[in-house]
Amino acid sequence: MTRLFPRLIILAWGLSAAIALAGDDRAGIRPAYEFDTQEAFDSGQIPAYAGAHDAVHDRIDADIERHIGELQRWVRQRSISAQDDGIDAMAGMLAGDLRRLGFAEVDIVETDGHPGVFGHYDAGAEKTLVVYMMYDVQPVEDNWQIDDPFAGELVETELGTVLMARGATNQKGPERAFLNALDAIIATEGTLPVNLYVVAEGEEELGSTHFDQVLAPYADRLREADGAYFPMNLQGSGGSVSLNLGVKGIVYFELRSAGGDWGGPRDNEIHGSYKAVVDAPALRLVNAIASMTSADGNTVLIDGWYEGLRGPTPEEQRLINGMVERDAFAGLQESLGVERWVQDLESRDLVLRYLFEPTLNINGIWSGYTGEGGKTILPQVATAKIDSRLPPGREPEQVWRMIRDHLDRHGYADLEIVQIEGRGYPAASTSVESGLVRTAISVFNRYGHPPAVSPWLAGSAPFYQFTDHLDLPFVFGGLGHGAGAHAPDEFMLIHPAEGVHAAGLAEVEKFYADLLFAFAEG
């Protein structure tokens, strides 16, 4: 979940009345998208799933203490991909759990990086679902709120009892909850209502650079499935659900200016007084980046940046109209700590910018002396970490080419573009009309949480592997609430306190079970 931001997912989408629409895009350089329809998608219009699976639900309730223990067992197994800490053990734990559940075919899949895990459960059912999992977690810093982020502690909070641990919500909690649901179904019914493929990777936090190698041996079989699903805690603490039908793509690189034949100090920093006669890599980097954007940093001036993009389809227009009606961004400024949106965008313009903007962003920049006081140097190298988020239709290779061309044409041929996590990947999205999405919405409605539906999230994840390479509808999400992914207070809600409307673990598992039944029946 490096790229797929969890905070938006837990955002409380407001339900206030529609607000006035703002004017056109103010930048001029961007395409202005006309809408063909004023219709607004309303997830509440999709009938709630009506199936009743009381025996499975009862089983979940009866086993909930053991189920909690299963989540604890998973978070206690370290699996920090960036540090190769516990990776093989966690892959083995997942594979073993699948075998115990009755998956007849379970493979540890070697890749050029950390291994993947493949599992197949043939229920002899009509429908087949591919379940994506990530078994790796982020590193932990020293500032954790509890002594041991791998102890699997249950902690009492205002929200209720939570599992506080690295991986609790990102992503072991919901994933193991999904397996608990399978366990309850199989214990009750003897088998599953759908056939399942599990495809898991141990490098999600590293950019999923070898995930294609996990999928490749099974691609022809996976392509025959009816959809793909990623279990995830989608509820805000208030209980509301936002369902994103896709993600943006991403390109991420370091841009680096270093002294060399062109000028500047080649080996070491030199004394700052020599700026009079020596080129400065830091000033060069700063000017190169600035040449790519407007003075306010909000409009990209690279040739072709806003060309060849597509506007919202009628279906996406309906979703966007629905987001505007539900005031989808209400509360988001407060939760982000942002006083205003760029160019004071609002309403539909704001949603369009969020969804359709190919961004250019500095994630980090560094050069020279960054300590206290005033060391006086001319640093020999300056580096920025830059990413671009890609809406549907913008391919990663286009971005690599546009940026290289821009630098070369503007006299910055000496600047190096350093690929640090592969070539990136494109956006992914699934139609709201697909059976899997309508099924998911019907189950959310069954639990009284008609989701706010967005065509995609502005965050990124390599879900194009499912939507493009395997040509499957792909849904990520479910009931459940967690927060603190990547942070020193990561948790997943287990038993909500009185008055908290987000689901506890038992309801999360019931949702997963119902989703499988509904999908089988749909």
276 lines the binding site for its own copies (CB under 8 A): yes
Q: How far apart are CA 348 and CA 344, in angstroms?
A: 12
265 lines the binding site for its own copies (CB under 8 A): yes
310 lines the binding site for its own copies (CB under 8 A): no
82 lines the binding site for its own copies (CB under 8 A): yes
Quick one: 396 or 450, whose CB is closer to its own copies? 396
For residues 211 and 116, the answer to whether their CB atoms sit within 8 Å is: yes
Collapse the DSSP code of 251 into the 3-class scheme (helix H, G, I; strand E, B; otherwise coil) and give the result: strand
- In the numeric block, the tokens 């879900």 are attached to 463
Quick one: 37 or 363, whose CB is closer to its own copies? 363
* CB 234 to its own copies: min, Å: 16
Helices 505-521 and 54-62, axial angle in degrees (round to 10): 150
Among 130, 168, 458, 508, binds its own copies (CB under 8 A): 458
**What's the token pair of residue 126?**
């009509």
Spell out the SS3 assignment of 371-384: CCCCCCEECCEEEE
For residues 483 and 6, the answer to whether their CB atoms sit within 8 Å is: yes
Q: Quick one: CA dihedral 262, 263, 266, 268, positive or negative?
A: negative
Among 274, 307, 314, 409, binds its own copies (CB under 8 A): 274
Quick one: 68 or 452, whose CB is closer to its own copies? 452
Q: How far apart are CA 9 and CA 7, in angstroms?
A: 5
Among 14, 92, 238, 263, binds its own copies (CB under 8 A): 263
Q: How far apart are CA 47 and CA 521, in angstroms?
A: 14
Instruction: Select the span of 169-177, 267-275, 438-446, 494-502 touching its own copies (CB under 8 A).
Output: 267-275
| x/- map, 348-387, its own copies, by CB under 8 A | --x--xxx-x-xxxxxxxxxxxx-xxxxxxxxx-xx-x-x
**Phi, psi dihedrals of residue 98, rounded to the nearest 5°:** -65, -45
Instruction: Select the span of 95-103, 177-185, 259-267, 465-473 touching its own copies (CB under 8 A).
Output: 259-267
459 lines the binding site for its own copies (CB under 8 A): yes
Q: How many residues does the chain have?
A: 522
Among 67, 172, 284, 449, binds its own copies (CB under 8 A): 284
30 lines the binding site for its own copies (CB under 8 A): no
Q: How far apart are CA 304 and CA 403, in angstroms?
A: 10
Type of residue found at 104: A
Quick one: 111 or 298, whose CB is closer to its own copies? 298
394 lines the binding site for its own copies (CB under 8 A): no
The three-point CA angle 332-337-338 to 5° equals 80
Quick one: 37 or 376, whose CB is closer to its own copies? 376
* CB 272 to its own copies: min, Å: 5
Quick one: 144 or 262, whose CB is closer to its own copies? 262
Among 66, 266, 310, 409, binds its own copies (CB under 8 A): 266
For residues 4 and 247, the answer to whether their CB atoms sit within 8 Å is: yes
Closest CA to 368 of 356, 377, 358, 359: 377
Among 48, 206, 417, 497, binds its own copies (CB under 8 A): 206
Among 14, 272, 311, 393, binds its own copies (CB under 8 A): 272
Q: How far apart are CA 316 and CA 392, in angstroms?
A: 12
Q: Using CB under 8 A, which residues numbered 123 to 142 contact its own copies? A: none
Q: Using CB under 8 A, which residues numbered 212 to 251 contact its own copies? A: 248, 250
267 lines the binding site for its own copies (CB under 8 A): yes
35 lines the binding site for its own copies (CB under 8 A): no
Among 89, 104, 338, 413, binds its own copies (CB under 8 A): 338
Q: Using CB under 8 A, which residues numbered 399 to 428 contact its own copies? A: 410-411, 420-421
293 lines the binding site for its own copies (CB under 8 A): yes
145 lines the binding site for its own copies (CB under 8 A): no
* CB 495 to its own copies: min, Å: 29
Among 17, 190, 340, 433, binds its own copies (CB under 8 A): 340
CB neighbours of 449 closer than 8 A, spacing ≥ 6? 235, 239, 240, 241, 479
For residues 506 and 61, the answer to whether their CB atoms sit within 8 Å is: yes
210 lines the binding site for its own copies (CB under 8 A): no
Quick one: 374 or 499, whose CB is closer to its own copies? 374
Q: Using CB under 8 A, which residues numbered 48 to 67 contact its own copies? A: none
Helix (H) or strand (E) holding 439: helix 435-446
Among 14, 51, 102, 260, binds its own copies (CB under 8 A): 260
Quick one: 312 or 379, whose CB is closer to its own copies? 379
Type of residue found at 329: F
**Phi, psi dihedrals of residue 512, rounded to the nearest 5°:** -60, -45
5 lines the binding site for its own copies (CB under 8 A): yes
* CB 411 to its own copies: min, Å: 6
Q: How far apart are CA 2 and CA 205, in angstroms?
A: 5
Closest CA to 200 of 233, 168, 178: 178
**What's the token pair of residue 215?**
């999928």
User: DSSP label at 434?
Assistant: S
Among 179, 199, 222, 280, binds its own copies (CB under 8 A): 280
Across-strand partners of 250?
389, 425
Quick one: 263 or 311, whose CB is closer to its own copies? 263
